[in-house]
Every structure is written in C-alpha cells, then in structure tokens.
C-alpha cells in the first residue's frame, strides 16, 4: 500500500509539472512577442519605403508569425516562422527568427525543441555580434536589439530547462 501511494503521488507530481510547466498566456511571453512585433513593424515599414531586394517578404512572413503568436495561435505562428527561416535574403541571415520560433515552440509545449532552437539562435547571434563572417558589423541599435533578445532567450532557457 505504501508503494502504491508513493506511485500515485509521483504520477500526480509529474502530471502537474508537465501541465503547468508552460503557462501559454504568461505575460512574459506576451511582452516578448509585443516588443519584437513593434520593432519589426518599423523595420518592415522602412523596407517597404526603399528597395530592399525581396526582404519585404521575409519581414512580412515574420510579422504574420508574430501576429498569430499574439493571438495565441501558436501552431500557425510556428508555421510562419519556419517559412520565414527559409526565405532567402539579400546578403543577410534569417537566424533572428529562431528567437521567435524557439519561444513559440515553448509556448506550444515543445520545450526541448524550443530550447534547442533558442540555443542555435544564441550561437548565431554571438557570431553576428562578433562579426565572425567578416562582411560588415551591426549598427549600435542592432547590437542593442540582439543583446536584449539574447538576454530573454537565456531567461527562457533557464526558466524551462
């Protein structure tokens, strides 16, 4: 009887942990998506105002993902983020979408996958900050934005590890 009680208690603890591990409506997630959305909206508007060699499709797809994430449609958001990652850009990388994709995968409950994606984002962001490809450096604003995303990506990883 003692072992049966322990087993039941263990099952309850595990089920509680897995069901409560990610609060999909968590204000922290909403704040991150909103900050990113507002920044990206400005970049997209700037892109439309000048020739940006097809980058407008990339930014629009990423924005569509953010809009769906803010509506709590994480499946659709994930689909848009994955599409954005595949859109070729003129001399620039698409890795920054990994921050959004990792976050939304965690919100979907795919914690291991989300953390894996965020870790890849962190490696790519570090290369970008250190100008490892040698092409050109980031603007001060770009460095600041990436550092904020790195901070939040690390916070998400620590929170859900």
Sorted by where each begins, the domain ranges of the chain are 28-160
Q: Note the CATH number of domain 28-160.
A: 1.25.40.10
Report the half-sphere exposure of 148 (CA within 13 A, side-chain side). Answer: 12
For the chain, the residue count is: 161
State residue 91's pLDDT score. 63
**Within the chain, how many helices (H) and strands (E) appear?**
7, 0
pLDDT at 153 over 50: yes
- Which tens digits make up the pLDDT trace of 92-147? 788 999 999 999 999 999 999 999 999 999 999 998 888 766 566 678 888 898 99
State residue 1's pLDDT score. 45
Q: Quick check: helix, strand or coil at residue 139?
A: coil
What one-character-per-residue DSSP string does 18-76 give? HHHS--TT-HHHHHHHHHHHHHHHHHHHHHHHS--TTHHHHHHHHHHHHHHHHTT-HHH
What percent of the chain is predicted at pLDDT more than 70? Answer: 79
Q: How many CB atoms lie within 10 A of CB 146?
A: 20
- Which tens digits make up the pLDDT trace of 36-58? 898 889 888 888 888 776 688 89
Q: Quick check: helix, strand or coil at residue 103?
A: helix
Q: Quick check: helix, strand or coil at residue 8?
A: helix
End-to-end CA distance of the chain: 34
**Residues whose CB is less than 8 angstroms from the CB of residue 1 and which lie 6 or more positions away in sequence, other chains included:** none
29 pLDDT tier (thresholds 50, 70, 90): confident
């Amino acid at each position: 009887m003692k072992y049966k009680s322990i087993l039941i208690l263990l099952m309850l603890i595990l089920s509680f942990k897995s069901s409560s591990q990610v609060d999909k409506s968590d204000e922290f997630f909403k704040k991150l998506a909103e900050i990113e959305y507002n920044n990206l909206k400005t970049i997209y508007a700037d892109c439309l105002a000048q020739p940006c060699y097809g980058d407008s499709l990339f930014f629009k797809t990423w924005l569509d993902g953010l809009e769906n994430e803010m509506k709590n449609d994480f499946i659709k958001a994930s689909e848009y983020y994955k599409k954005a990652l595949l859109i070729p850009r003129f001399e620039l990388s698409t890795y920054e979408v990994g921050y959004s994709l990792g976050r939304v995968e965690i919100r979907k409950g795919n914690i291991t996958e989300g953390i894996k994606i965020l870790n890849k984002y962190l490696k790519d962001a570090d290369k970008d900050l250190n100008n490892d490809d040698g092409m050109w450096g980031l603007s001060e604003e770009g460095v600041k934005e990436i550092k904020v995303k790195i901070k939040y990506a690390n916070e998400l990883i620590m929170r859900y590890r």
